[in-house]
Amino acid sequence: MSTSRRALLGAAVSGAAGTATGLLAAAPAHAASWQQKWAPTAAGDGLGAFETVEDDRADSHPAGHPHIYATGDNWRFTMHTVDRDTSTDRQRQEVTGLRTGGSYLKWTQGQTWRITYSMYIPSSLKATTTFTHIMQMKQPGNGTSPIVVQSLRRVNGVQTIELNLPVAGVLVGRTGLDPLHDRWTDVDFQIKVGDGTAGSVRWILKSGSTTVIDKSRTGVDTFLADRVRPKWGIYRSLGDTSGSLQDTYLLLTDLRGYQLV
């Protein structure tokens, strides 16, 4: 990542930390601030940055292995049209969790977390009429519903990127995908883990110095049970009717994790 883009991400974290501190300034004993808890590098940590790696779980395309790997400063998620997940109506190449040494970070009820990173979405990774998720938040375990999804979705034929809270039934925000194709986009995502109406989220996308979208929702459900665990990669349905599925990839870099403490 360029120095200017690193500076933008750093400024975003510092600015939001100040906002959070201001909101809680009335508490005399402690002013909350963002504390960095996770700062892996692709070159240094590789796939060891994550709790688990879900690379072609069904072994559907051995010739394409590895589909997920570190390359230079980036993590790459490659998807071929022949790839199949264990549920054969969909495709999945994802990583989960925030590993730190021999352990991993656990996001539990009442905590507030923040993830910043940059993603490169090539024009070959298109929005679809059915689901194409490039980030999820879930309770660990098979068959659990997604709590948060960042998705590429066609709406009335238009390619968009959106953030949804499926458990809460809330669309947080949506913006056009075309201007973000073939360039780096900075992501700043915050979540307060809360059951019922105790949760909140904020979703910011920046392209260079331009804020593409900045949306927040409070009073929403962001918890099922146990803990919340982030996932990144490409997870998409084969049911698309727009002809948008093709060989593609996603790049991530400069992943950072912060807790409000």
Whether the model pTM is above 0.75: yes
Domain residue limits, the chain: 3-25+33-260
* Element at 8 (helix H, strand E): helix 3-23
Contact 250, 5 (CB under 8 A): no
Using the structure block, give the residue that is written with the tokens 């996770």: 38
Return the percentage of the chain with pLDDT > 70, whole number.
Answer: 89
Between 9 and 136, the more confident residue is 136
Contact 248, 121 (CB under 8 A): no
Q: Which of 1-10, 24-33, 159-168, 198-207 shows the lowest per-residue confidence on average (mean pLDDT)?
A: 1-10
* Region 193-201 average pLDDT: 97
What phi and psi, each to the nearest 5 degrees, are found at residue 197?
A: -110, 20
* Region 17-33 average pLDDT: 57
CA distance 199 to 189: 14
User: In CATH terms, is domain 3-25+33-260 a member of 3.30.565.10?
Assistant: no
Task: Return the closest-CA partner of residue 105 out of 31, 38, 162, 40.
Answer: 38
- pLDDT for 23 beyond 60: no
Between 82 and 15, the more confident residue is 82
* Region 188-209 average pLDDT: 98
Read off the pLDDT of residues 80-95 as tens digits, 9 standing for 90 and up. Answer: 999 999 999 999 999 9
- pLDDT for 9 beyond 70: no
